Amino acid sequence: MTSPSSSHSGFVSLVGAGPGDPDLLTVKGQRVIQQAQVVVYDRLVSPEILALASDQAEMIYVGKKLDYHCVPQDQINQLLVEKARLGKRVVRLKGGDPFMFGRGGEELEALAQQNIAYEVVPGITAAAGATAYAGIPLTHRDHAQTVQFITGHVQQNGQEIDWSSLAHQNHTLVFYMGLKQSEHIEQQLLKQGLDDNTPVAVIENGTRREQRVLSGTLNQLSALAQQAKSPALIVVGSVTLLHHRLGWFQRD
């Protein structure tokens, strides 16, 4: 797409704010936020990152939380188009990375259909950030050679995840937005043959001062999830055992 300087009909930067710690925002992300005339932001973007925007910038909240969307996705798409058509420099600011379960692709499709110029500024996705702060390596030669990221919205339009493709040894699973579906996740993985004692962790508020890690085994997953609050990640695999030895992040 064209650059902001060459576009006469506005420009949209799709920016990942990272998983929570404001220091994990990229340098480019900081620059485009500071230059934005309009910032359309989600619920999990930290106040410190929002404070980077100009005092003259129009700030528009479109956050989502479990079972409640204050602004439907099609209206968000239209909002981005309308602001860009006014010739504005728009930042669409999302927690984590915009292409990792963030509907960033849907928003770019809407912009592309209207010939709106855009760019993508990646962010650190929650799985990478939260596990790093918890001392849980996603891969490790002694534990896991592969890793999969899965949406916690485990059933869409009546189509179930292929659980048999997930239940493997020497493998790490990371479920985004999985608290509500934790019992279903536990049951399906056990049904596919994962051992009851497979280690798991639930990381609440990853990379934030409020971060908390709940550890246990697969047959305890739903009970652990009931103790956690959103946002939280579910990690399944023996790499979670390393949290007790490698965990380094201390709350203030």
Which pLDDT does position 1 carry in this prediction? 55
Confidence of residue 64 (pLDDT cuts 50, 70, 90): confident
3-state SS assignment for residue 166: coil
How sure is the predictor about 124, in pLDDT bands with cuts at 50, 70 and 90? very high
In the predicted model, what is the mean pLDDT of residues 142-151?
96
Residue ranges per structural domain of the chain: 4-124, 127-246
Q: What is the mean pLDDT of the chain?
A: 92
Residue 97, token pair as written in the block = 């990375």
Q: Quick one: pLDDT at residue 5?
A: 46
* 37-53 residue pLDDT tens: 999 999 999 999 999 99
At the top level of CATH, the class of 4-124 is alpha beta
Per-residue pLDDT at 67 exceeds 50:
yes
* Model pLDDT, residue 157: 61
Output 168 or 52, whichever has higher pLDDT.
52
The 3-state DSSP composition of the chain as helix, strand, coil percent (nearest 5) reads: 30, 25, 40
4-124 with 127-246: one CATH topology?
A: no
- In this predicted structure, what is the pLDDT of residue 6? 44
Q: Residue 17: name the closest of 78, 55, 63 by CA.
A: 63
Q: What is the pLDDT of residue 7?
A: 46
Chain centre to alpha carbon of residue 2 = 27
Mean pLDDT of 1-25: 81
Residue 21: Cβ-neighbour burial (10 angstroms; 0-12, 13-18, 19+): buried
Segment 194-232, tens digit of pLDDT? 999 999 999 999 999 999 999 999 999 999 999 999 999
pLDDT for res 99:
97
Total H helices, total E strands in the chain: 8, 14
Asked whether the predicted pLDDT for residue 4 surpasses 80, the reply is no
CATH class entry, domain 127-246: alpha beta
| Catalytic center residues | 42, 64
CA 12 – CA 36 distance, rounded (Å) = 9
The answer to whether residue 96 scores a pLDDT higher than 80 is yes
Beta strands in 84-195 (DSSP E): 89-94, 117-121, 146-151, 155-156, 159-160, 171-176
Average pLDDT over every residue of 43-70? 87
Cβ distance 13 to 36 under 8 Å? yes
Q: Is the pLDDT at 234 greater than 70, yes or no? A: yes
pLDDT at residue 9, rounded to an integer? 76
**How much is the average pLDDT of 60-77?**
81
